[in-house]
Amino acid sequence: MKTRNPIHRSNLTATDPNGMGQRLRDAARYWEPRRILYNLVLMAVVAAWVGLTWPHFRPALNFSASLKMSVLALLANVCYCAAYLVDVPMGHSTVAQQWQRWRPFLWFAGTLFATLLANYWIGDEIYPFV
């Protein structure tokens, strides 16, 4: 007697009647390539602050500060995942076709918000104390 492989493709679709796996794959195919550009934009903000105010930031570039900046970069990427909280349900709604056209606006708004937050954080929280 043959047993079916529990990971077989037909079993996945049988246990996923709403197509959640497909929606997650579609969302990842859209959002993950744009994560690179998102990170480059935020790195440009940090590089501009450091470059334009270089003598002032020189003492702050140490191991402790690099750990804090690494944690902030990680948190920025966790916040990027908030797009999935909007995209996956919208991909299953009755306006899914229209939503495909609005995704770039969500990316732009989120990147703009992250840029403003990074500028605030550097200008108000880091820059005065360096």
Q: What letter would DSSP give residue 62?
A: S
Contacts of 41 (CB under 8 A, 6+ apart): 111, 114, 115
Inter-CA distances, 1 with 4, 6, 28, Å: 10, 15, 39
Assigned domain for 2 exists:
no
Assigned domain for 1 exists:
no
Q: How many domains does the chain have?
A: 1
Assigned domain for 8 exists:
no
The region of weakest confidence among 1-10, 19-28, 65-74, 75-84 is 1-10
Assigned domain for 56 exists:
yes
Assigned domain for 51 exists:
yes
Assigned domain for 110 exists:
yes
Assigned domain for 34 exists:
yes
Q: What is the pTM of this model?
A: 0.79
- Residue 90 is part of which domain span? 22-129
pLDDT, one tens digit per residue, over 60-81 is 778 877 888 888 899 999 999 9
Say if residue 42 is exposed, middle or buried (CB neighbours under 10 Å; 0-12, 13-18, 19+): buried
